Structure 1
Amino acid sequence: MEMSYYYFNRVVLVVCSIVVVSLSCFVAGDNGNLGASFIFGDSLVDAGNNNYLQTLSKANIKPNGIDFKATGGNPTGRYTNGRTIGDIVGEELGAPGYAVPFLAPNATGKTILNGVNYASGGGGILNATGRIFVNRIGMDVQVDYFNITRKQLDKLLGASKAREYIMKKSFFSITIGANDFLNNYLLPVLSIGARITESPDAFVDDMINHLKAQLTRLYRLDARKFVVGNVGPIGCIPYQKTINQLKENECVELSNKLALQYNGRLKDLLTQLNENLPGSTFVNANVYDLVMELIVNYDKYGFTTSSRACCGNGGQFAGIVPCGPTSSMCQNRDKHVFWDPYHPSEASNLIIAKQLLDGEKKYISPVNLRQLRDL
């Protein structure tokens, strides 16, 4: 379902969980009481954690955030031109603000009662994923960080109330997995050895087994309401189209095949967890089909292109050089499905957010986000 503007031996460093949609949001009950949104994942969910790391994966430079009204168009570390899906959903449900990045200085005290963001551009399910960026926060460490927050909540609310707050009023959203393919298994040169020694089936098994352990750890820390996004059509992003010299209506077959293979296993895993972890609700967000719908039928939604990045440089689809101060930028950002070579625009996020909030089971199941909130 996370842009770096640095280069390593003249190879553009691809960052984050491309086109995997941020599923993070605040939870607002009908009575006005707000729960917390605990956000885990990669760059499409990262709201600034990587700003505090010595890493090659950052999005804290212009024109990122140019349409983010909360900062007057200044970058925050979000890897898009405006709001993430989580920001939009939170506003729809009446949230007073956005989940604070765990590494931010103000992630203390009562601020954490609205939620905490642990996500990191370049992060993945597997610990080896994203190592080309030097520093990033993988999913295992993100869960470790939540354990710290969990103890802080006990001190703020008392053990009993903290447990109830987490179990009944809080969302846990997980948007991760694409980096494990694009910045690990499929990474040019660096991953050749891994692909020789490990089949796609074995690699996907490894991902699923690690994710199962990570989600189970969160459950044992009292998480109950989970939203888990699958991996989007990573073979259709402008970067992949550009470097493979594809036509507008073509996508990289292998990348999408791997995503679909993982997505099938993820669906089975979430069904298993729903059955085996009492009191839990694991929601499967089918962002692969959501994003593919925008890519294939872009004109139906008012877009003029789903192939060319609004902000970027290089090749037919501006998909080689990441978005930064020297990049070309389209005049109408609302007409592009993709903001940069890797991430959706705010206009796309608005459309996807509606489906996550109120969509049918083909996109989000067994319940949508409004229904999950009210459980």
Structure 2
Amino acid sequence: MKEDSSSSSTILLFFFLYSVLVFVSSTAEAKIKLPGNETVPAVIMFGDSIVDTGNNNNLRSVVKCNFSPYGRDFKGGMPTGRFSNGKVPSDLLVEELGIKELLPAYVDPSLKPNDLLTGVSFASGGSGYDPLTSNLVSVTPLSTQLQQFNEYIGKLKSNFGEERTNFILSKSGVIVVAGSNDLANSYFTTGIRKLQYDIPSYTDLMLKHASAFVKELYGMGARRIGVFSAPPIGCVPSMRTLGGGLQRDCVHEANEAAKLFNAKLSAEIDHLNNNLPQAKVVYINVYDPLFYIIKNPTKYGFQVADKGCCGTGTLEVAILCNRLELHTCRYDSNYVFWDSYHPTEKTYRIIVRRVLQKYITRFY
């Protein structure tokens, strides 16, 4: 009996170790391989709620999510100010690149000097290229995010020296994610900009600010700059509810506006890439992969693409998506969207991996 017990223990130990090795191996394989001996020491994020990891938590704004059910699939079900059920693209990018597990918010009070070395997010949910967009909901505009970036650079220099700071700035992935709030909020939902501009002229205004922002980043030392396209904003659940009719279809006009802006942005990024010495400025198309998932949800294991998991899934977002919403879905992995505006972590993972596989070599 003792021999049998010993043999069983040995077998169990073997399978345990085997499982650990398989897990470690599969995790390592999931990491994106960089060309040559290149390295990405840090990821630095600017923009809106898609990449905000908690910068809005202490703002006097309705655009907040540091409460349940947000973060229910995050560590221990903790709401951290990430606009999702779990991780957001900021976290997934540093995870896939093997830098660290999570990308902290720059204003996180627990942030330590060493955290600065591997990057932070300056993004603020509700912000956009158009300065009006941030003002509408009292969040941190891109202009202030640049001021915070300048402060961040100063902290790097004082803690780690100018040489290391310049290395981090020139080698890090600096990512900008904005534009969706300009179209969805400032133009279509509130109609404020619609009174002043038609779609071609408003997308020109957005482009002017987007281009100026990239030039500012370059002037401050950034050299690997990725700029996300606008998503198919007409297909997010809230836009369907407000403008998609009884069938809650995608709002064609909003999607066409996003595509027009994207065409202009792509051309401008090409121009900047050719005219900013030693820089790699990359336009990153997220419109098409998200649109494909929305139109073909079952191919990715989703069941629902026109509503969010939170509440009724038709309008709930930010303070409207809260613990009092008794109808929040049980299995968010069946949903493309977490709330009426933001995708689930599962959706984000699919898109981030596709983006890295397609674009990572263009930064070198």
Establish whether TM, by shorter chain, passes 0.5.
yes
Q: Does 1:163 align with 2:158?
A: no
Equivalent residue number for residue 263 of structure 2: 264
SS at match of 1:40: strand
Matches within 5 A, 1:193-342: 194-246=193-245, 250-313=249-312, 318-322=313-317, 323-327=321-325, 328-342=327-341
Q: 1:205 to 1:33 in 2, by over 3 A?
A: closer
Q: 1:73 to 1:32 in 2, by over 3 A?
A: farther
Once the two structures are TM-superposed, the CA of residue 333 in structure 1 deviates from its matched residue by 0.9
Match of 1:49 among 45, 55, 80: 55
SS at match of 1:179: helix
Equivalent residue number for residue 353 of structure 2: 354
1:157-176 Cα shifts (integer Å, max 9, x gaps): 222331122102x1101010
1:318-345 Cα shifts (integer Å, max 9, x gaps): 3123321122211211111011100101
Match of 2:136 among 132, 139, 143: 132
Structure 1 regions of 5+ residues with no counterpart? Answer: 1-25, 360-367
Q: 1:281 to 1:75 in 2, by over 3 A?
A: same
Match of 1:151 among 149, 154, 170: 154
Equivalent residue number for residue 12 of structure 1: none
Match of 2:69 among 51, 63, 69: 63
SS at match of 2:69: coil
Q: 1:270 to 1:241 in 2, by over 3 A?
A: same
Return the structure number with greater relative CO, CA threshold 8 A, min gap 6: 1
Q: Does 1:183 align with 2:185?
A: yes
Stretches of 4+ moved more than 4 A in 1?
26-34
Structure 2-normalised TM-score? 0.85
Once the two structures are TM-superposed, the CA of residue 243 in structure 1 deviates from its matched residue by 2.4
Q: 1:245 to 1:288 in 2, by over 3 A?
A: closer
Equivalent residue number for residue 23 of structure 1: none
Match of 1:84 among 63, 85, 88: 88
Q: Does 1:75 align with 2:79?
A: yes
Structure 2 regions of 5+ residues with no counterpart? Answer: 1-30
Q: Does 1:112 align with 2:107?
A: no
Q: Distance in 1 between matches of 2:32 and 2:115?
A: 15
Q: Distance in 1 between matches of 2:229 and 2:38?
A: 30
Question: Does the 8 A contact of 1:163 with 1:222 survive in 2?
Answer: yes
| Identity in percent | 33
Paired letter, 2:54: G
Once the two structures are TM-superposed, the CA of residue 197 in structure 1 deviates from its matched residue by 2.9
Q: Distance in 2 between matches of 1:34 and 1:286?
A: 21
Paired letter, 1:226: I
Paired letter, 1:40: F
Paired letter, 1:187: T
Q: 1:32 to 1:344 in 2, by over 3 A?
A: same
Equivalent residue number for residue 21 of structure 1: none
Equivalent residue number for residue 344 of structure 2: 345
SS at match of 2:77: coil
Q: Distance in 2 between matches of 1:47 and 1:303?
A: 25
Paired letter, 1:183: N
SS at match of 2:213: helix
How many residue pairs get aligned? The number is 329
SS at match of 1:209: helix
Question: Does the 8 A contact of 2:42 with 2:99 survive in 1?
Answer: no
Q: Distance in 1 between matches of 2:229 and 2:328?
A: 29
Once the two structures are TM-superposed, the CA of residue 219 in structure 1 deviates from its matched residue by 0.4
Equivalent residue number for residue 42 of structure 2: 36
Question: Does the 8 A contact of 1:200 with 1:258 survive in 2?
Answer: yes
Q: 1:231 to 1:108 in 2, by over 3 A?
A: same
SS at match of 2:261: helix
Q: Distance in 2 between matches of 1:27 and 1:174?
A: 20
SS at match of 2:307: coil
